[in-house]
Structure 1
Amino acid sequence: MAEIHEWFEQFKQSIRKEALQEGFKEGLEKGLKEGQIRPLARQFEKKLGRPLSEAEQFVLVERFDRLGLNRLDDVRLELSADALAAWLAEPAAH
């Protein structure tokens, strides 16, 4: 019985360690992503001449995940302020 208890305690510690490592990894990835999105969002806001709405912020994050930083950078540089606002409002934009 003592062996089972010891094994169970080791198993719990192993699971905790894995969970902590996974949480750290996810936190690091989220931090890196936010570190790329915040400056980009600020640049979008400067181009638009206003803060992004909550919906536009959500769209920007979704498109960052789907299209990547380079595409969003191209959009920011190539589109006028009006076209950029329309791009953010268009669900199927790419």
Structure 2
Amino acid sequence: MKFKNIAIAFGVGLAGGYVLQKSLQKSQLSPEQVMQIVKRAAKKSLNIDGAWVYLTPEDYYQNGLSYKVYKGGLTAKDGENLEHFDFIADASTGTILDLKAQ
């Protein structure tokens, strides 16, 4: 009887630890999801013509903080001219951390 209680307690503890680990892990968006978030935000002020994103997240440091980010670019039409922008976006939230015209 004692062994059965110990086995049940071990199983419950193992399952609880697994669930807790999964909930504490920081989720990361796919590059495509980040691209859609960036394009949606940029469309408010730019006429987006094209976009690209690197598929591998990178470490990025800004103002003493560390981020996992995706880097990419946008092409926007300004009348007849095309303008290129580079962006850096947080891989967890899609928040644009940097957007520069080239």
TM-score by length of 1: 0.47
Higher helix fraction (1 or 2) = 1
Higher strand fraction (1 or 2) = 2
